[in-house]
Amino acid sequence: MSEQVLAADGRPLKSSLNRALRRQKMRALMLIAPLLLFIMLTFVIPIGQMLFRSVENQIVGNTIPKTVAALAAWDADQNEAPDETVFQALFYDMFVAAEAKEHTKLGSRLNYEQAGISSLFRKSGRSLSDIGELYQDAFEDLNPAWGDGAFWFDLMNDNGGAIASGLMIQQRDRLKRLTSADISLDVDFALRGDIAQALPLTAQQYASWALYTANVDNDVIAEETPWEAVYAALADDLRDPEAGARLAAYDGPGADSLLAALAIVPDIAAPSYKDAFAEIDSGWLEPRVWQTIQTYSPPFTPGYFLNSIDLEQTPNGIEWRPENQQIYLTLFWRTLVMSLTITGSCILLGYPVAWMLANLPARTANLLMILVLLPFWTSLLVRTSAWKVLLQDQGVINSLLVWIGLVADDNRLSLINNATGTIIAMTHILLPFMILPLYSVLKTIPPSYLRAAKSLGATNWTAFWRVYFPQSIPGIGAGSILCFILSIGYYITPEIVGGTRGVFISNRIAYHISTSLNWGLAAALGAILLAAVLLLYWAYDRIVGIDNVKLGG
């Protein structure tokens, strides 16, 4: 039986070694922890948020939840608007959303899928109170107490009876999702259980109003008159065929007033919710509007990614967008082709310069290197604006070509607001990123290799192509990756000199982020661009090998 080897401290040697290794790993982890945290905060988390935003679509369900539930039973294939139940749900959903000023955000979201819906929501949000005012006036004419906030508070508030806490929690959660605000149940109000059974719809609307009034408006519930939607809900409850039986069993505060209101409700001349919305805007009767709402009601959607490749999600499935709206595939293809063209131009122009820097005397090479680095000392915006001046029809380049007779004055070259201008300007901007890695690699190639090849009978071209060029490929690879990755994501230079025919997909991403505010589509476009770059990087690694890329040495 072998003896156990012990360390100097008397512990088993194996345990001591494992302990030492754990300490080394912990020290190494602590050393890289700041960098790891920086990468997580500035790269991983933003990328994750972008990917999530490209599929997130919770705004529809959070803004009009009752409508989404009611619309689930509607057949999108029928060529008519939904029934009264859906419009009733839309009224109550929209009323709360309009009070919170969230309905316009939903309109903007759906407007990305169908033009005109945004104005439909804005217009309706301003007119919803008119529907409820008909009932409010009728109830107040019957009994002025219906216009008193204290009367409503006594009617709905619990005074030792059964508390409808479940309904209050439900309305709190609904307001939280709608407003993203901190909605508290501690508002000196507790909904009565018996009134919630007698008037279920009224209880919901009043609870929602009370929580919003106390948490968002910071007002006292008992001193404020409820929303017009509460009066409409009361009328709907009293119209229910079972309302009489429920009220007969209710003997709490305001029982007599409710029985009196029950008698006059059938005589109130008010349009149906469907007719009321149609009167606000006839667009609500268009089946296409409801098809769009139904299609984009799930909390997650592939719609942004479909739009990014000129497709759209319809009730009939995935279809191509109208031909005059198909722009993104063209932009992706243009971005790829022009980025490769710019990278190729940088190789053609940068290789001779890098070769000169690597083979000239150190003093001369250092002077030329300063000239290569000089553009970095000038603002990118200034350099791009200078190219705009140089490339225009009456600019320096065209004027010089006309002066030396290469171009007729009436046939000047079109070098601006097109792909040509973008390629010229971006080649100039990215050229140093090709020269520097190329120079660092070419500097390490011994000149004796070329002399040896020539001494063996090779011509200058053969010596260069068979001996010198293969050793410079790692520098070309490094410069190509830098130039291609930078060019595919550029948007300032194409925006200034590219016009409509020289812009990249990144320009469209910037537009959706800063102008149209369609962040979901911008995130989807960015995700596709990221996937394309990673795919090309993988292909480059398979063909050339990323291990062959060098920055010198």
Residue 323, domain member (yes or no): no
User: What is the pLDDT, as a whole number, of residue 432?
Assistant: 93
Residue 59, domain member (yes or no): no
Listed residues 52, 78, 94: the one ending a domain = 52
132 to 125, 136, 203, 272, 311: CA distances (angstroms): 13, 6, 16, 12, 41
Contact of 398 with 407, CB cutoff 8 Å: yes
State the angle between helix axes of 519-543 and 469-488 in degrees (0 to 180), rounded to the nearest 10. 170
Contact of 402 with 408, CB cutoff 8 Å: yes
User: What is the pLDDT, as a whole number, of residue 59?
Assistant: 94
The kind and range of the H/E element at 338 are helix 328-359
Residue 410, domain member (yes or no): yes
Q: What CATH number does the domain containing 377 carry?
A: 1.10.3720.10
Q: Does 243 have pLDDT greater than 80?
A: yes
Q: By mean pLDDT, which of 87-91, 136-140, 257-261, 406-410 is the weakest?
A: 406-410
176 confidence band (pLDDT: 50, 70, 90): very high
553 confidence band (pLDDT: 50, 70, 90): low
Q: Does 551 have pLDDT greater than 70?
A: no
Residues 494 and 413 in one domain: yes
Residues 42 and 77 in one domain: no
Range of the structural domain that residue 46 is part of = 1-52
Residues 171 and 39 in one domain: no
Residues 198 and 275 in one domain: yes
Q: Does 202 have pLDDT greater than 50?
A: yes
Higher pLDDT, 289 or 545: 289
User: What is the pLDDT, as a whole number, of residue 539?
Assistant: 82
Residue 37, domain member (yes or no): yes
Residue 314, domain member (yes or no): no
Residues 253 and 401 in one domain: no
The contacts of residue 484 (CB under 8 Å, 6+ apart) are 339, 340, 342, 343, 536
Residue 60, domain member (yes or no): no
Domain count, the chain: 3
Q: Cα-flanking dihedrals φ and ψ of residue 268, to 5°? A: -75, 120
User: What is the pLDDT, as a whole number, of residue 64?
Assistant: 95
User: What is the pLDDT, as a whole number, of residue 1?
Assistant: 44
Mean pLDDT value across residues 92-115:
92
Residues 12 and 145 in one domain: no
Contact of 547 with 473, CB cutoff 8 Å: no
Single pTM value for the model: 0.82
Residues 47 and 183 in one domain: no
270-299 per-position pLDDT tens digit? 888 999 999 999 999 999 999 999 999 999
164 confidence band (pLDDT: 50, 70, 90): confident
Listed residues 259, 290, 321: the one ending a domain = 290
Listed residues 290, 313, 341: the one ending a domain = 290
Residues 376 and 414 in one domain: yes
Residue 62, domain member (yes or no): no
Mean pLDDT value across residues 151-165:
82
Residues 13 and 120 in one domain: no
Residues 42 and 91 in one domain: no
Residues 248 and 117 in one domain: yes
Quick one: what percent of the chain has pLDDT higher than 90? 49
Residues 99 and 21 in one domain: no
Distance CA 429, CA 423 (A): 10
Higher pLDDT, 549 or 167: 167
Q: How much is the mean pLDDT over the chain?
A: 89
Mean pLDDT value across residues 370-391:
88
403-436 per-position pLDDT tens digit? 898 888 888 888 888 999 999 999 999 999 999 9
Mean pLDDT value across residues 384-392:
89
Residue 394, domain member (yes or no): yes
206-231 per-position pLDDT tens digit? 999 999 999 999 999 999 999 999 99
Distance CA 443, CA 441 (A): 5
The DSSP-derived string for 317-335 is EEEEPPGGG--HHHHHHHH
Distance CA 129, CA 228 (A): 6
Q: Does 536 have pLDDT greater than 90?
A: no
Q: Does 20 have pLDDT greater than 90?
A: no
Q: Does 3 have pLDDT greater than 80?
A: no
The contacts of residue 101 (CB under 8 Å, 6+ apart) are none
